């Protein structure tokens, strides 16, 4: 949608904080246009590393149809799997970069695990819009998008409930601020076997 | 000596004290040990229950961990996770069964995250929307990643564990349960040592026993105790089948169906059994030691009381006079010493008693029994004789003139004679006879079973035995004795009277000059009157019944009456005239003559004094008895009498008997000298009847000599008497004494005496004794008469 973007583009700047007002990192913010389907977009590939027996980063947002590679940066093997309805797959014991990346063709959260290391948890969040971002440590996620009206949503693996979607009207170059308050609770993590 | 109360005896007291002491001590020990044992048992039981509870809980925890581990293995299985994630129910169910079987789980269940029961090994066919029956298990597992609990499912107890199925986040909950049954209870019992029952309390309060190690009968009784189960809590005692159990209810878990608890129980009987055994042993020991102490204290007490009793018995024997048996106590302790001392005392008592007896019953000089012992023997003999009707005799023996021997040869010589006599007496008698010394020279002889014939023979033997002279310091001394005999039963039946009768007979023998006299009851009257005479004589002096008569003495040369003899007369108010011969000897015997003499002297001196005052000049003699001469007061008495009545001493003449002087020549001489010094005239009465030597007579300060009337009366017809009279007159004159003859009854006698040169005469031919007034009248009349009228006078003057 270069045209749209060309015609007029703006920036959405979403700030996510928790109940205490602290910034929430690794939250996926995505916007859907009001009135029409989001275009397929470029389907940028993504990467989910396994470093030191952890998925890095914790959350990787991708657009539907995007391929995600799972490079194993440890010197041991991993067995990455997902039983999530959005994408079921299994990368049996491997090291290095698997030959084929995994294509996520349905929107929704995909929880990644490693059959060898039970504590390893990672998330691929598959969105059906090309406009999305992920909050950094300051709880802010910014991305460009064409002018227009959008429904903006947020997702975080630890959120207890999905907060109400927000409407944002993107008009010009000016950044459109969106605020989300998110109740996040870190689930009990299994102890890591070092 | 048998005590009424058992505790009176020392033995019983000692025994009872020690036994009671032991019983009390044992009782206290027993009580302490029992109470202590019970307390310890109680504490042990409570402790065991607490420990048991900890063990049970630990076991449950361990089981839970084991189960959890197994369940986690199941939950981690990739295939299983894949099956769960893909909701492949048949696969899930079979995986559950398979894994359950691997670890022998009774039940395996899968719950979805929305708490629905996905699969249940109990009901494989049932899948779907049932709610998971143990939601709290999920709560815990969600919070902690795992859960374990003991729950009630379908009324049965299970140990349940639950873990999440992760992919990698929890996607479901898998639960595994083990049925807790009898085996579980038995395991718990094996490690805890307690009776373990698993019980449940349903929501409606109904209790069930799910499994138990108790016998079924007790389990029934446990259910019957339902209301009590409610109250058990941490500690209570339940009676199961009558058997007490300390119980503790340990809650294992709550679940919707109800609560599961472990009832831990310890049999009180078993717990206290060791202490009961200890108590029993202790009781046995106490009983045995009490028995031993009874035996021991009885033995010890006996070892004390036996010698004490022996000593008591010995003391009784000593009381009864048995000194022959000493106490025999073999013990070497204090009681042995006591017994030894006791025996020494016994010996001492026996020795002293025999000494005392000797002193009391023996005459120390002769070794013969004394009067007391003689009387004892006499009484004894009398009793025997009275029973056996046998005669016996009592003799009293008195030595003649023993006083004289004593005086002339000294008391040691007298003692020798007494000893010799005692020896000879004993030698003449039988063993059964008794010779005793009654006192002085008086002996008594008891002849049991003796008839008069034997008594006579014994008497003769005694007399014969005394005949040989006793030789004292080479000097033979003649001894003779007078014997009096009285016989039982003829003479009396009273021991004292028999002795007295013998005494009377002895005196009779002495008076009569015979050697042996048998008691004569007919002589008693005179004797009795003698006795009463004494009292009457006393009264006579008081009442002035006595009177003095005067018999004149004729001076043969001049025919004048210048002297007279005062003679006492007793005019008894009843008996009439009592001659002096009847009461004077008697008064001399009793000593009462002193009073008579004094009365006579008083009366004579007063009379002479009166006559002298009247101008009647006459010298009066008074008789003085033997005893009077030994009276040292006599001279002073006479002196004071003479002074009182202003009587010239020369007018009083005292006539003394020759025998009286001889009783105690020394004292008599002394008295006579003093009387002579007073100026009295002294005369020897009845000269010729005594035994005095002339040399002795010569020393006496006398002026006059009287010839006894017995010679004078018969001198007319008896040549011998005439010779005595004549030679006496000559003797008297040669010694410078005037000679008086008494008992002159005839004129011829007067003439003869005058021719013999006798100085004075006295007798009926001149005048009988006259009362004082008659004598005065007679004398005045005679003096007034012209001398020629007196025929004799002319002859005298011729």
B525 pLDDT above the threshold of 60: no
Q: Determine whether the interchain pair B166/A118 forms a contact, defined as Cβ–Cβ distance below 8 Å.
A: yes
How many of the other CB atoms lie within 10 Å of CB of B200?
A: 22
Predicted confidence band of residue B589 (pLDDT cuts 50, 70, 90): low
Question: With left for phi above 0 and alpha for psi between -120 and 50, is residue B561 left, alpha or beta?
Answer: beta
Q: What is the mean pLDDT of residues B520-538?
A: 64
- Cα separation, B641 vs A17, whole angstroms: 179
Average pLDDT over residues A83-108: 89
Tell me the pLDDT tens digit for each residue of B60-100. 898 888 888 888 888 888 888 888 888 888 888 888 888 88
Q: Rounded mean pLDDT of B44-64?
A: 88
In terms of Cα–Cα distance, which of B40, B54, B51, B50 is closest to B271? B40
Which residue of B lies nearest to A117 if distances are taken between CA atoms?
B168
- B85: closest chain A residue by CA: A83
- Reference B443, options B499, B517, B391; nearest CA is B499
Mutate to test the interface with B, among A110, A117, A188 (most CBs of B within 10 A): A188
When the pLDDT of each residue in chain B is averaged and rounded to a whole number, the result is: 84
- Report CA-CA distances (Å) from B404 to B332, B413, B596, B697: 66, 11, 26, 18
Overall average pLDDT of the B739-745 stretch: 91
B470: enclosing H helix or E strand: strand B470-472
- Residues of chain B positioned with their CB less than 8 A from the CB of A92: none
**A178-182, B576-580, B722-726: lowest mean pLDDT where?**
B576-580
pLDDT of residue B513: 67
The pLDDT of residue A26 is 93
| Four-point Cα dihedral B711, B715, B720, B725, nearest 10 | 60
Which pLDDT belongs to residue B105? 85
pLDDT at B690 (0 to 100): 58
Q: Which of B72, B86, B87, B168 to mutate to test the interface with A (most CBs of A within 10 A)?
A: B168
Chain A closest CA to B152's CA: distance in Å? 29
What is the pLDDT, as a whole number, of residue B795? 39
Q: Which of residues 84-103 of B touch A (CB under 8 A)?
A: 85-86
Q: Does B167 touch chain A (CB under 8 A)?
A: yes
pTM over 0.90: no
pLDDT score of B532: 63
For A76, phi then psi, to 5°, come to -120, 170
| Residue in A83, A114, A187 nearest the CB of B82 | A83
Partners of residue B86 in chain A, C-beta under 8 Å: 83, 88
A111 touches chain B (CB under 8 A): yes
Do B398 and B479 meet the contact criterion of CB atoms below 8 Å apart?
A: no
Give the number of other CB atoms < 10 A from CB of residue A192. Answer: 12
Cα–Cα distance for residue pair B126/B92, rounded to 1 Å: 13
In this prediction, residue B792 carries a pLDDT of 45
Residue B18 has pLDDT above 70, yes or no: yes
Average pLDDT, stretch A157-181?
A: 86
With beta carbons less than 8 A apart as the criterion, state whether A60 and A46 touch. yes
From chain B, the residues in CB contact with A113 under 8 A are 166-169
Provide the shortest C-alpha distance from residue B59 to chain A (in Å).
26
Flag whether residue A105 sits within 8 Å of chain B, measured between CB atoms: no
Provide the terminal-to-terminal Cα distance of chain A, rounded to the nearest Å: 47
- pLDDT tens, position by position, B89-145: 888 888 888 888 888 888 888 898 888 888 888 887 776 678 888 888 899 888 888
A83 touches chain B (CB under 8 A): yes
Q: Alpha-carbon distance B534 to A73, whole Å?
A: 178
Q: How close B169 gets to chain A, by Cα (Å)? A: 8
Cα angle B410, B411, B413; round to 5: 75
Residues of B in contact with A188 (CB under 8 A): 145
CB of B66 within 8 Å of any CB in chain A?
no
Q: Which residue of B has its CA nearest to A120?
A: B168
User: Which DSSP state fits B204?
Assistant: T
Cβ of A190 within 8 Å of Cβ of B76? The answer is no
Q: Report pLDDT digits (tens) over B258-267.
A: 899 988 988 8
- Looking at residue A4, its pLDDT comes to 37
- Judged by a CB distance cut-off of 8 A, whether residue A114 touches chain B is yes
Give the alpha-carbon dihedral of A51, A52, A58, A60, to 10 degrees: 10
Q: Which CA distances in Å does B10 have to B18, B297, B317, B339?
A: 12, 11, 22, 18
Give the minimum alpha-carbon distance from A99 to chain B in angstroms, rounded to a whole number: 23
Q: Is B171 in the A-facing interface, judged by CB distances under 8 Å?
A: yes
CB A53 within 8 A of CB A75: no
Contact status, residue B213 vs residue B184, Cβ threshold 8 Å: no
Length of chain A: 194
SS3 state at B567: strand
Take residue B547 and report the two structure tokens written for it: 């009177």
Residue A155 pLDDT level (bands cut at 50, 70, 90) = very high
Pull the structure tokens for residue B470. 């006793």
Q: Which chain B residue's Cα is nearest to A89?
A: B82
Instruction: Determine the pLDDT at residue B776.
Output: 92
Please list the helix, strand and coil fractions of chain B in percent, rounded to the nearest 5, in that order.
55, 20, 25
Q: Which of B76, B145, B167 sits opposite A83 (nearest CB)?
A: B167
Please give the distance of CA A75 from its chain centroid, rounded to a whole number: 27
Chain A residues touching residue B81 (CB < 8 angstroms): 83
As for the ipTM of the complex, it is 0.80
CA distance B414 to B423: 14
Higher pLDDT, B206 or B566: B566
Q: What is the pLDDT of residues B222-259, one digit of tens each?
A: 877 776 777 778 888 888 888 888 888 889 888 888 89
**Residues of B with Cβ-Cβ distance to A81 under 8 angstroms:** 78, 167
Quote the tokens at residue B361: 């019953």
Q: How far is A117 from chain B (nearest CA, A)?
A: 9
The verdict on a CB contact (< 8 Å) between B145 and A190 is: yes
Q: Are B541 and B738 in contact (CB under 8 A)?
A: no
Strands B107-112 and A54-56: unpaired
CB-based contacts of A43: which residues, under 8 Å, 6+ apart?
A62, A63, A64, A65, A66, A67
Q: What pLDDT is stored for residue A152 in this prediction?
A: 94
Average pLDDT over residues B695-721: 84
**pLDDT higher than threshold 70 for residue B326:** yes
CB-facing half-sphere around the CA of B559: CA atoms within 13 A: 17
d(CA B553, CA B244): 147
Q: Name the residue among B287, B246, B253, B239 with its Cα closest to residue B268.
A: B246
Question: Are the Cβ atoms of B145 and A188 closer than 8 angstroms?
Answer: yes
Report yes or no: B15 and B294 within 8 Å, Cβ to Cβ: yes
- Please tell me the number of Cα atoms within 13 Å of B500 on its side-chain side: 10
Neighboring chain B residues of A187 at a CB cutoff of 8 Å: 169
A112/chain B closest Cα distance in angstroms: 7
Q: B165 to chain A: nearest residue by CA?
A: A118
Closest CA of chain B from A113, distance in Å: 5
pLDDT of residue A193: 65
Q: Residue B78 and residue A81: Cβ atoms within 8 Å? A: yes
Tell me the pLDDT band of B523, cut-offs 50, 70 and 90: low
| Backbone dihedral angles phi then psi of residue B442, each to the nearest 5 degrees | -105, 130
Q: Is the pLDDT of residue B176 over 60?
A: yes
pLDDT given for residue B128 in this prediction = 65
Structure confidence at residue B663 (pLDDT): 66
Q: Which of A78-87, B10-19, B472-481 has the lowest mean pLDDT?
A: B10-19
Which pLDDT does position B233 carry in this prediction? 80
CB contact under 8 A, A121 and B86: no
Cβ(B149)–Cβ(B160) below 8 Å: yes
- Range in B61-65, B323-327, B791-795 the model is least confident about: B791-795
Q: Is A45 on the interface with B (CB under 8 A)?
A: no
Query: What does chain A look like in DSSP terms, one character per residue?
Result: -HHHHHH-EEEEEEEEEETTS-B--S-EEEEEESSSPPP------EE-EEETTEEESSEEEEETTEEEE--B-SSS-EEEEEEETTEEEEEEEE-BS-SSPEEE-S-EEEEEEESS-TT-EEEEEEESSSEEEE--TTSEEEEEEESEEEEEEEE-TTBSSPPPPEEEEE-SSSEEEEEEEE-B-PPPPPPP--
* Shortest Cα distance, chain B CAs vs residue A175, angstroms: 37
Nearest CA among B731, B630, B626, B634 for reference residue B685: B626
Strand-strand pairing, A121-127 and A78-84: unpaired
Can you give the pLDDT at residue B81? 86
Helix (H) or strand (E) holding B779: helix B772-784
Res B2 pLDDT > 90: no
pLDDT at A64: 92
Nearest to A113 by CA among A86, A91, A134: A91
In B113-242, where do the E strands start and end? 117-120, 147-153, 156-166, 170-179, 195-202, 207-212, 236-240
Nearest to A83 among B76, B85, B145 (CB): B85
- CA-only gyration radius of chain A, Å: 17
Q: Give yes or no for residue B797 having a pLDDT over 70.
A: no
Chain segment A110-141, per-residue pLDDT in tens: 999 998 888 899 999 999 999 999 999 999 99
Distance CA B161, CA B133 (A): 13
**B119 CB-near residues (< 8 Å, 6+ apart):** B89, B92, B93, B96, B108, B109, B110, B127
Segment B298-305 long-range contacts (CB within 8 Å, at least 24 positions apart): B298/B11, B298/B15, B300/B14, B301/B10, B301/B11, B301/B12, B301/B14, B301/B15, B302/B11, B303/B331, B303/B335, B304/B10, B304/B11, B304/B14, B304/B335, B305/B9, B305/B10, B305/B11
- The pLDDT tens digits of the residues spanning B185-221 come to 998 899 888 899 999 888 888 888 888 998 888 888 8
- What integer pLDDT is reported at residue B280 of this predicted model? 85
Contact at 8 Å (CB) between B240 and B218?
yes
| Cα B543–Cα B544–Cα B545 angle in degrees, nearest 5 | 95
User: Is the CB of residue B145 less than 8 Å away from at least one CB of chain A?
Assistant: yes
pLDDT at A2 over 50: no
Q: Above 60 in pLDDT, residue B5?
A: no
**In the predicted model, is pLDDT for residue B413 greater than 50?**
yes
Q: What DSSP designation does B788 have?
A: G
Tens-place pLDDT, residues B452-468: 788 888 888 888 888 88
Rounded CA-CA distance B756/B729 in Å is: 7
pLDDT at A32: 92
Q: Which residues of A touch B85 (CB under 8 A)?
A: 83, 88
Q: What mean pLDDT comes out for the span B399-418?
A: 83
């Amino acid at each position: 949608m270069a045209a749209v973007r060309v015609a007029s583009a703006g920036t959405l700047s979403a700030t996510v904080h928790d109940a205490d007002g602290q910034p929430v990192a690794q939250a996926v913010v995505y916007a859907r246009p009001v009135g029409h389907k989001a275009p397929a977009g470029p389907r940028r590939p993504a990467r989910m590393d396994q470093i030191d027996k952890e998925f890095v980063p914790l959350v990787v947002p991708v657009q539907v149809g995007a391929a995600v590679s799972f490079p194993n940066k440890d010197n041991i093997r991993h067995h990455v799997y997902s039983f999530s309805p959005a994408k079921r797959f299994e990368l049996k014991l491997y090291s290095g970069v698997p030959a084929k990346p995994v294509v996520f063709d349905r929107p929704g959260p995909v929880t990644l695990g490693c059959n060898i290391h039970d504590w390893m948890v990672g998330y691929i969040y598959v969105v059906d819009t090309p406009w999305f971002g992920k909050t950094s440590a300051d709880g802010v996620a910014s991305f460009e998008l064409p002018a227009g009206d959008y429904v903006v949503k947020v997702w975080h693996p630890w959120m207890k409930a999905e907060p109400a979607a927000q409407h944002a009207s993107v008009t010009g170059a000016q950044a459109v601020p969106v605020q989300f308050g998110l109740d996040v609770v870190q689930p009990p993590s299994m102890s890591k076997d070092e | 000596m048998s005590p009424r109360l058992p505790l009176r005896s020392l033995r019983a007291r000692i025994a009872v004290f020690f036994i009671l002491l032991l019983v009390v001590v044992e009782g206290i020990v027993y009580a302490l040990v029992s109470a202590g044992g019970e307390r310890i048992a109680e504490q042990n039981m409570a402790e065991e229950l607490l420990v048991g509870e900890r063990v049970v809980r630990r076991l449950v925890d361990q089981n839970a961990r084991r189960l959890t581990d197994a369940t986690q293995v199941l939950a981690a299985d990739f295939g299983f996770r894949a099956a769960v994630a893909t909701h492949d129910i048949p696969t899930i169910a079979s995986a559950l069964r398979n894994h359950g079987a691997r670890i022998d789980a009774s039940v395996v269940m899968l719950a979805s995250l929305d708490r629905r029961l996905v699969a249940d090994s109990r009901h494989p066919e049932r899948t779907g929307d049932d709610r998971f029956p143990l939601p709290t298990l999920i709560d815990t597992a969600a919070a902690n990643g795992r859960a374990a609990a003991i729950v009630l499912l379908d009324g049965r107890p299970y140990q349940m564990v639950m873990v999440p199925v992760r992919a990698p986040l929890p996607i479901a909950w898998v639960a595994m349960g083990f049925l807790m049954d009898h085996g579980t209870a038995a395991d718990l019992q094996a490690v805890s040592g307690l009776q373990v029952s698993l019980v449940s309390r349903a929501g409606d309060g109904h209790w069930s026993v799910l499994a138990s190690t108790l016998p079924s009968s007790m389990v029934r009784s446990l259910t019957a105790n339902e209301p009590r189960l409610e109250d058990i809590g941490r500690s209570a005692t339940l009676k199961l089948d009558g058997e007490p159990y300390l119980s503790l209810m340990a809650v294992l878990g709550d679940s919707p169906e109800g609560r599961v608890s472990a009832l831990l129980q310890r049999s009180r009987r078993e717990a206290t059994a060791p202490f009961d055994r200890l108590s029993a042993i202790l009781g046995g020991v106490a009983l045995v030691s009490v028995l031993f102490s009874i035996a021991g204290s009885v033995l010890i007490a006996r070892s004390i009381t036996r010698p004490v009793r022996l000593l008591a018995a010995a003391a009784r024997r000593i009381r009864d006079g048995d000194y022959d048996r000493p106490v025999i106590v073999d013990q070497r302790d204090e009681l042995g010493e006591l017994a030894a001392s006791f025996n020494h005392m016994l010996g001492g008592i026996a020795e002293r008693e025999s000494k005392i007896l000797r002193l009391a019953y023996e005459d120390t000089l002769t070794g013969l029994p004394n009067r007391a012992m003689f009387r004892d023997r006499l009484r004894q003999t009398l009793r025997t004789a009275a029973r056996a009707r046998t005669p016996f005799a009592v003799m009293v023996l008195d030595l003649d003139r023993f006083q004289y021997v004593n005086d002339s040869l000294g008391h040691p010589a007298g003692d020798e004679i007494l000893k010799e006599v005692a020896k000879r007496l004993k030698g003449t008698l039988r063993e059964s006879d008794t010779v005793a010394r009654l006192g002085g020279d008086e002996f008594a002889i008891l002849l049991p079973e003796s008839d008069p014939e034997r008594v006579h023979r014994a008497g003769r033997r005694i007399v014969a035995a005394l005949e040989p002279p006793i030789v004292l310091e080479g000097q033979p001394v003649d001894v003779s004795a007078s014997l009096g005999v009285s016989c039982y039963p003829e003479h009396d039946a009273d021991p004292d009277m028999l002795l007295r009768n013998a005494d009377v007979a002895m005196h009779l023998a002495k008076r009569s000059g015979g050697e042996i006299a048998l008691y004569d009851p007919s002589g008693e009257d005179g004797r009795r009157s003698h006795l009463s005479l004494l009292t009457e004589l006393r009264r006579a002096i008081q009442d002035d019944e006595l009177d003095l008569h005067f018999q004149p003495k004729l001076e043969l040369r001049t025919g004048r009456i210048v002297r007279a003899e005062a003679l006492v007369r007793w005019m008894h108010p009843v008996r009439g005239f009592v001659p002096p011969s009847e009461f004077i000897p008697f008064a001399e015997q009793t000593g009462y003559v002193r009073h008579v003499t004094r009365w006579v002297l008083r009366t004579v001196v007063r009379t002479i004094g009166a006559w002298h005052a009247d101008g009647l000049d006459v010298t009066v003699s008074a008789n003085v008895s033997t005893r009077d001469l030994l009276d040292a007061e006599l001279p002073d008495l006479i002196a004071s009498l003479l002074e009182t009545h202003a009587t010239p001493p020369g007018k009083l003449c005292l006539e003394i008997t020759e025998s009286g002087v001889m009783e105690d020549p020394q004292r008599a001489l002394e008295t006579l000298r003093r009387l002579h010094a007073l100026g009295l005239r002294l005369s020897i009465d009845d000269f010729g009847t005594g035994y005095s030597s002339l040399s002795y007579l010569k020393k006496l300060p006398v002026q006059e000599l009287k010839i006894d009337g017995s010679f004078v009366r018969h001198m007319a017809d008896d040549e011998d008497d005439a010779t005595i009279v004549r030679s006496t007159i000559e003797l008297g004159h040669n010694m410078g004494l005037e000679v008086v003859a008494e008992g002159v009854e005839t004129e011829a006698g007067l003439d003869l005496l005058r021719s013999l040169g006798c100085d004075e005469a006295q007798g009926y031919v001149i005048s009988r004794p006259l009362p004082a007034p008659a004598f005065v009248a007679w004398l005045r009349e005679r003096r007034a008469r012209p001398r020629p009228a007196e025929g004799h006078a002319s002859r005298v003057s011729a």
